[in-house]
Amino acid sequence: MQKIAYKSNHNVYFSCKYHVVWCPKYRRKVLVEQVAKRLEQIIREVCKEHQAEVLSLEIMPDQVHLLVEVDPQLLLLCVVSFTTLPLKNAKKPTE
């Protein structure tokens, strides 16, 4: 059996891991090539800024799976919001 590695924050020991999944509207297959690379870069930068550790990240054309460990005092909602905010502000490609 594998031992759980706990982290500490002042007087608290924790191991808060979350599996977050999200997808583009209508599950369109838009997360490919350069978009996927840029998305991965944004996710890793935001997690680093908020002291969240990316344990696993998989970007598929129609969905993103993120396994992240965060401090219990940092809301998961904040990490997800800060990760998706740059995507919402990005310009949509013209068809």
Q: Does residue 4 form part of some domain?
A: no
Q: Does residue 5 form part of some domain?
A: no
Question: What DSSP element (H or E) covers 66?
Answer: strand 63-69
Q: Does residue 2 form part of some domain?
A: no
CATH of the domain at 50: 3.30.70.1290
Q: Does residue 95 form part of some domain?
A: no
Q: Does residue 79 form part of some domain?
A: yes
Q: Does residue 74 form part of some domain?
A: yes
pLDDT tens per residue across all 95 residues of the chain: 678 888 887 778 888 898 999 898 899 999 999 999 999 999 999 889 888 899 999 999 999 999 999 888 776 677 677 666 655 555 555 54
Question: What DSSP element (H or E) covers 19?
Answer: strand 17-22
- Per the structure, the complete domain to which residue 53 belongs is given by 15-89
Number of domains, the chain: 1
pTM of the model: 0.74
